[in-house]
């Protein structure tokens, strides 16, 4: 009996892989606005245009803007005289635009309007004589910017349920809480529950501080996670909202990993995965999603299925002077 060798077609056959692609995903209105502000400023003034801090937390986006003439710095004193400067989407302390004005610098504020809303609420609560408990992550630019809106010692950072349990209030009847816009919805709710139990009169934000885009992307991951063997989140390691998406999937019982680009896909990790969830943080462009799908298609027979939880229609106006650049 003659042995029959397997055909090359059988050896090269790709395993099937169903991709459940979460929607909404990727750019939110605040990120889109911030990037357009940089691009319009470059059109209006020419290169270089300086940007204080990464305009959004995504290396691909930042490198693309660098190639067009944007220069990213961490502090205002790194900006030379006579060139325009842009403040990142995460917001800046009040002292930064004041310093820019004193130096006569032209500047544009790309702070997300939903972050600016939190800034105004902080000012109002302090003006009303309340001490603010701010739920957020230490060192994040949004937290630094929000603390910079009010006088020192009028706000305390709360990062965990343990922090909320341990906080001692000199005046328990004059407290308010606010939150970073890119937190885990579930984790934040647990912290708020503790604060409201311990301090029944604590003032709440007007509306939800966690932004619509953060909530929507977390809900979209929840919608697909139980049907997936694993989830890939496209985003940056310094992106708060992207890291929260990994946590959401993990909490649903589905292993998840954060990648920045397609070349970071660990195909060994995908061994045995038949259904893979894909999403992208609010500062990751759709081109990176398509790059990941294309890379997966090299190894698998891919079927794509988008799972849309809600359709986003939010948009924000550009600063005066850049609308028609």
Tell me the catalytic residues: 142
- Rounded to 10°, the helix 59-68/29-45 angle is 10
Using CA atoms, how far apart are residues 45 and 242, in angstroms rounded to an integer? 33
Share of the chain residues as helix, strand and coil, in percent rounded to the nearest 5: 40, 20, 40
DSSP 8-state code for residue 89: T
Please check whether residue 32 is in contact with residue 290, taking contact to mean a CB–CB distance below 8 angstroms: no
**Buried b / exposed e along 254-285 (16+ C-beta atoms within 10 A):** bebbbbbebeebeeeebeebebbbbbbbbbbb
Structure tokens at 201: 């009169």
Please check whether residue 36 is in contact with residue 321, taking contact to mean a CB–CB distance below 8 angstroms: no
SS3 state at 15: strand
Burial class (CB in 10 A: 0-12, 13-18, 19+), 99: middle
Using CA atoms, how far apart are residues 135 and 85, in angstroms rounded to an integer? 29
Within 185-282, strands assigned E span 230-234, 256-259, 275-280
Please check whether residue 34 is in contact with residue 88, taking contact to mean a CB–CB distance below 8 angstroms: yes
Using CA atoms, how far apart are residues 157 and 268, in angstroms rounded to an integer? 40
Using CA atoms, how far apart are residues 184 and 199, in angstroms rounded to an integer? 22
């Amino acid at each position: 009996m003659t042995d029959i060798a397997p055909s090359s077609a059988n050896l090269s056959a790709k395993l099937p892989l169903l991709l459940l692609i979460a929607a909404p995903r990727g750019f939110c209105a605040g990120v889109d606005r911030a990037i357009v502000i940089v691009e319009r400023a470059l059109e209006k003034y020419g290169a270089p245009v300086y940007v204080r801090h990464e305009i959004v937390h995504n290396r691909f986006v930042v490198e693309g803007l660098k190639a067009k003439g944007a220069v990213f710095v961490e502090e205002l004193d790194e900006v030379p005289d006579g060139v325009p400067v842009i403040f990142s989407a995460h917001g800046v302390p009040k002292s930064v635009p004041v310093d820019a004005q004193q130096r006569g610098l032209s500047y544009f504020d790309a702070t997300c309007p939903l972050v600016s809303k939190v800034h105004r609420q902080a000012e109002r609560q302090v003006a009303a004589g309340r001490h603010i408990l701010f739920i957020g992550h230490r060192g994040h630019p949004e937290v630094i910017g929000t603390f910079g809106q009010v006088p020192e010692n009028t706000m305390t950072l709360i990062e965990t349920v343990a922090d909320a349990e341990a906080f001692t209030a000199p005046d328990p009847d004059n407290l308010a809480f606010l939150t970073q816009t890119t937190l885990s919805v579930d984790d934040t709710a647990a912290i708020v529950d503790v604060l409201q139990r311990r301090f029944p009169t604590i003032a709440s934000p007007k509306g939800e501080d966690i932004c619509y885009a953060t909530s929507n992307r977390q809900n979209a991951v929840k919608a697909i996670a139980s049907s997936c063997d694993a989830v890939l989140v496209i985003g940056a390691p310094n992106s708060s909202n992207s890291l929260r998406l990994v946590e959401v999937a993990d909490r649903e019982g589905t292993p998840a990993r954060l990648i920045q680009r397609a070349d970071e896909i660990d195909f060994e990790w995908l061994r045995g995965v038949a259904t893979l969830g894909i999403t992208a943080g609010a500062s990751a462009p759709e081109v990176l999603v398509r790059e990941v799908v294309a890379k997966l298609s090299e190894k698998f027979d891919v079927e794509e299925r988008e799972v849309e939880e809600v359709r986003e229609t939010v948009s924000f106006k550009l600063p005066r002077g850049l609308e028609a650049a």
